[in-house]
Copies of this chain bind each other. A is one copy, B any other.
Amino acid sequence: TLPLSLICGPCQMESREHALEMASAIKEIADSLNMGVVFKTSFDKANRTSLTSARGLGMEKALPVFAEIKETLGMPVLTDVHEPDQCAAIAEVVDVLQIPAFLCRQTDLLVAAAKTGRVVNVKKGQFLAPWDMRNVVAKLVNSGNANVLQTERGASFGYNTLVSDMRALPIMAQNGAPVIFDATHSVQQPGGQGTSSGGQREFVPVLARAAAAVGVAGVFIETHQDPDKAPSDGPNMVPLHALKDLLKTLQALDGIAKAAV
């Protein structure tokens, strides 16, 4: 088993400059820890709570920025896809196509993403049992693409709350696809702030540490140099200045977890 990897970036692509700065800063941190890293950011927040929330740069403006990040930083990039039509164009630039949790059972989207041949990272729906990811992963693999990652991001627990069942990690691992733990969205409070989702940033390290100690292929952590001013997911993004210390702890836990398994 490989050491812990990282999927990291700001929730949404705010501008070319911001994306490049964040990617560069994250790359530097990961390199200093000798940790594999994929840069994540969204070009479109397609399921915001409210119609008036900011949705992001859009695909046309975002793809050249992803290309530039790859070229200048030599860093693989990940973004989420929402419609089957988008997959081919995005796959020309982006290394990892991510299926959002709400869409993890949309067959056409899964098939279209799989057919690109790119790595597909599928998030587990908040409504899905961990053992049912087997069927989701099979839709991808049976479409001819075995390069699949699966990401735990919390399960519905009453109203406006998610809970992270750490048992899900080894259960999902039985599917054969590497398991990522998304510490950012697992602390989301869906709809918990009226017209936007809330979050509990202080619990990101708590859950990330728990997952690393259980043993995962990677962690997914959104970060921002000033989360409180971010256009989305601010309440649950880790401040950039706190990232390195958190990752160091996770690496140490990962070493013990993988020696013990």
Contact = CB atoms under 8 A, between A and B. Distances in A.
Interface of A: 46-51, 55, 82-85, 102-103, 105-108, 111, 125-132, 135, 138-139, 142-143, 155-161, 163-167, 169-170, 187, 190-191, 195, 200, 202-203, 206-207, 209-214, 245, 249, 252-253, 256-257, 260
Given A47-B107, A138-B50, A166 B167 contact: no
Contact of A132 (B49, B125, B129, B187): B49
B207 A166 contact: yes
Contact of A128 (B132, B155, B190): B190
24 contacts: A46-B108, A51-B111, A51-B142, A82-B108, A85-B85, A102-B106, A102-B125, A129-B160, A129-B191, A130-B159, A132-B190, A155-B163, A157-B158, A157-B159, A159-B161, A166-B210, A167-B203, A167-B207, A170-B202, A170-B206, A213-B213, A213-B253, A252-B256, A253-B256
A67 B161 CA distance: 43
A128 B200 CA distance: 18
Contact of A106 (B47, B167, B195, B213): B47
A159 B50 CA distance: 25
Q: Which of A108, A142, A165, A190 has the most CB of B within 10 A?
A: A165
B159 A156 contact: no
A135 B50 contact: yes
Contacts of A161: 158-159
Contacts of A213: 209-210, 212-213, 253
Contacts of A126: 127, 156
Nearest to A103: B102
A245 B128 CA distance: 33
A256 B260 contact: no
A252 B187 CA distance: 26
A150 to B, nearest CB: 15
A135 B191 contact: yes
Nearest to A156: B156
B127 A48 contact: no
A43 to B, nearest CB: 13
Contacts of A106: 46-47, 82, 102-103
Contacts of A50: 135, 138-139
Given A47-B107, A51-B107, 5 more contacts: A102-B103, A102-B125, A126-B127, A129-B159, A157-B163
Given A83-B84, A132-B190, A190-B128, A46 B107 contact: yes
